[in-house]
């Protein structure tokens, strides 16, 4: 049993959080698909399509408390009919969220419990440091480890220079120059693919995400093996699932919307991690409340003038900081609304 569960991403964290439910007869299950309130989940003995209980529905204060792809849930399972209901959500280890539109600040949680995001860039035309910064921030805000894959090094003349450029902005992130089609540098990725691990792949169209996933799945087969507790359900050649497992036991979540990175976060810490150089520079500004615009003694402006800091990096930081502030305001408004709703409930 443990074998199958580990190949679904189960680990000590979830085992710990499931303990209170052990005596209930409920089972842990992982959400592989969400479609308007209908959840496809897998458990150690199979798969079923379920809804949440009425109590779950009532207790939820926002849609972010509802299960999303990758979530572990507490499932009441009717084995004879393979039907059931979701009673609870096990505390998430991590999550990836994006902004649906800048104007209305709508958040969407795309995937939960992701350990590593492989950020894939194509070195032929897709190398964009600013976009990588956004992807990094998204990962840090969601407690996910980012890894940068610079693909197509076979058609790039200045790999070292680009690696150096990225090391500058992301000194703590592992960067792998690779070529999927030429089989260069791919063995090193095995570190991220062991059992109990869940990964996501980010990147623009054409950078080689599908090629990479196919390679990881095993080249001769070129098949996508859906996550199933047993092989008796057979293998499928089309990838209509949003989650599947590699032979090594790692789980890949591949949701179209997750591939192209947007961002939604109300977490300034994620931003501070990605832009620690700017935060450090700002400490040296003459005024504590320096807006880094036209103030005298601005260390940021000086660094840009000296060529020490790229103006576009600062702009990107400014944009994201604004998004974070807007998101925080929205969250505050929502919290106030919920508080009022909560009071209303108690009075009844
Ligand atoms: N030269 C070169 N081409 C590559 C490499 N890896 C992938 N490609 C090619 O890049 C093209 C796009 O690859 P895909 O894997 O379809 O890219 P994708 O990121 O999945 O694209 P979408 O499905 O549109 O999101 C294909 O023609 C691949 O053969 C590489 O290492 N070097
Ligand atoms: Zn300043």
pLDDT at residue number 239: 36
| Ligand 1 atom closest to residue 179's alpha carbon, by position in its atom list | 31
Ligand closest in space to the Cα of 281 = 2
The pLDDT tens digits of the residues spanning 81-111 come to 888 999 999 999 999 886 554 444 556 778 9
- Residues 136, 48 share a domain: no
Instruction: Write down which residue in 259, 294, 310 finishes a domain.
Output: 259
Instruction: Write down which residue in 235, 259, 283 finishes a domain.
Output: 259
Q: In the structure encoding, which two tokens stand for residue 282, read together?
A: 């700002």
pLDDT over 90 (residue 12): yes
pLDDT at residue number 271: 76
Helices 129-141 and 159-169: crossing angle in degrees, nearest 10, is 40
User: Residue 314: helix, strand or coil by DSSP?
Assistant: helix
**Structural domain span for residue 22:** 2-89
Q: Please report how many Cα atoms fall inside a 13 Å half-sphere around the Cα of residue 346, on the Cβ side.
A: 6
Buried b / exposed e over 110-137, threshold 16 CB at 10 Å, is: bbbbbbbbbbbbbbeebbebebbbbbbb
Quickly count: other Cβ atoms within 10 Å of residue 99's Cβ.
19
338 vs 257 pLDDT, higher one = 338
- Residues 282, 224 share a domain: no
pLDDT at residue number 264: 44
pLDDT over 90 (residue 173): yes
Burial class (CB in 10 A: 0-12, 13-18, 19+), 98: buried
- Residues 124, 65 share a domain: no
- Residues 114, 41 share a domain: no
38 Cβ below 6 A of ligand 1: no
pLDDT at residue number 233: 40
What is the β-pairing status of strands 83-89 and 251-253? unpaired
| Ligand 1 atom closest to residue 214's alpha carbon, by position in its atom list | 15
Interior CA angle at 142 toward 136 and 146, to 5°? Answer: 35
pLDDT over 70 (residue 1): no
pLDDT average, residue stretch 304-327: 84
205 CA to middle of ligand 1, Å? 8
Give 202's pLDDT tier (boundaries 50, 70, 90).
Answer: confident
Give 236's pLDDT tier (boundaries 50, 70, 90).
Answer: very low
How far is residue 209's CA from residue 120's CA, in Å, rounded to a whole number? 7
Quickly count: other Cβ atoms within 10 Å of residue 246's Cβ.
20
Give 28's pLDDT tier (boundaries 50, 70, 90).
Answer: very high
User: Residue 91: helix, strand or coil by DSSP?
Assistant: coil
pLDDT average, residue stretch 295-322: 90
DSSP string spanning 13-49?
Answer: HHHHHHGGGGGGT-EEEEEEEEETTEEEEEETTEEEE
- Residues 229, 117 share a domain: yes
- Residues 253, 272 share a domain: no
pLDDT average, residue stretch 174-194: 94
| Continuous segment of H or E residues that includes residue 150 | strand 145-151
pLDDT over 80 (residue 228): no
- Residues 279, 220 share a domain: no
The ipTM assigned to this model is 0.96
Q: Measured on CA atoms in the order 303, 175, 244, 223, is the torsion positive or negative?
A: positive
**Contact present, 263 and 134 (Cβ < 8 Å):** yes
User: What is the DSSP code (8-state) at residue 175?
Assistant: E
Instruction: Write down which residue in 89, 122, 142 finishes a domain.
Output: 89
- Residues 135, 185 share a domain: yes
- Residues 297, 330 share a domain: yes
310 CA to middle of ligand 2, Å? 15
Interior CA angle at 126 toward 125 and 129, to 5°? Answer: 125
pLDDT at residue number 46: 86
pLDDT at residue number 99: 56
**Contact present, 199 and 12 (Cβ < 8 Å):** no
pLDDT average, residue stretch 216-245: 49
Query: Which residues are registered as beta bridge partners of 148?
Result: 119, 175
- Residues 255, 151 share a domain: yes
Q: In the structure encoding, which two tokens stand for residue 81, read together?
A: 């009919």
pLDDT at residue number 93: 95
Which range among 28-37, 121-130, 308-317 shows the weakest confidence by mean pLDDT?
Answer: 121-130
pLDDT over 80 (residue 265): no
How far is residue 105's CA from residue 325's CA, in Å, rounded to a whole number? 11
Pocket test for ligand 1, best of 208, 217, 224, 261 (most atoms within 8 A of CB): 208
Provide the CATH number for the domain around residue 147: 3.40.50.300
258 Cβ below 6 A of ligand 1: no
Pocket test for ligand 1, best of 181, 256, 260 (most atoms within 8 A of CB): 181
Q: In the chain, how many domains are there?
A: 3
61 Cβ below 6 A of ligand 1: no
- Residues 28, 8 share a domain: yes
182 Cβ below 6 A of ligand 1: yes
pLDDT over 70 (residue 335): no
Provide the CATH number for the domain around residue 297: 1.10.40.50
- Residues 274, 135 share a domain: no
């Amino acid at each position: 049993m443990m074998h199958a569960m580990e190949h679904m991403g189960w680990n000590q964290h979830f085992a710990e959080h499931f303990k209170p439910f052990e005596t209930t007869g409920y089972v842990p299950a992982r959400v592989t698909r969400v479609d308007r309130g209908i959840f496809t989940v897998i458990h150690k003995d199979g798969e079923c399509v379920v809804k949440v209980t009425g109590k779950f529905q009532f207790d939820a204060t926002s849609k972010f408390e509802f299960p999303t792809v990758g979530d572990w849930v507490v499932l009441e399972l009717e084995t004879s009919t393979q039907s059931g209901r979701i009673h609870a959500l096990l505390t998430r280890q991590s999550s990836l969220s994006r902004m649906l539109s800048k104007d209305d600040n709508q958040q969407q949680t795309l995937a939960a419990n992701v350990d590593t995001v492989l950020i894939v860039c194509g070195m032929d035309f897709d190398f964009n440091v600013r976009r990588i910064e956004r992807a990094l921030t998204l990962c840090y805000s969601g407690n996910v480890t980012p890894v940068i894959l610079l693909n197509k090094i076979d058609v790039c003349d200045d790999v070292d220079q680009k690696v150096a450029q990225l090391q500058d902005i992301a000194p703590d992130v592992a960067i792998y120059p690779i070529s999927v089609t030429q089989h260069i540098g791919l063995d090193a990725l095995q570190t991220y693919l062991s059992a109990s691990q869940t990964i996501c792949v980010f990147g623009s169209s054409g950078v080689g995400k599908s090629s990479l996933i196919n390679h990881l799945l095993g080249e001769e087969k070129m098949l996508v093996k859906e996550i199933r507790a047993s092989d008796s359900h057979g293998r499928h050649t089309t990838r209509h699932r949003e989650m599947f497992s590699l032979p090594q036991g790692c789980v890949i979540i591949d949701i179209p919307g997750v591939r192209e990175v947007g961002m939604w976060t109300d977490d300034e810490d994620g931003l501070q991690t990605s832009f620690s150089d700017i935060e450090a520079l700002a400490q040296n500004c003459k005024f504590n409340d320096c807006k880094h615009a036209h103030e005298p003694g601005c260390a940021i402006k000086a660094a840009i003038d000296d060529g020490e800091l790229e103006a576009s990096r600062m702009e990107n930081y400014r944009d994201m900081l604004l998004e974070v502030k807007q998101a925080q305001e929205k969250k505050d408004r929502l919290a106030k609304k919920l508080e009022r709703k909560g009071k209303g409930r108690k009075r009844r």
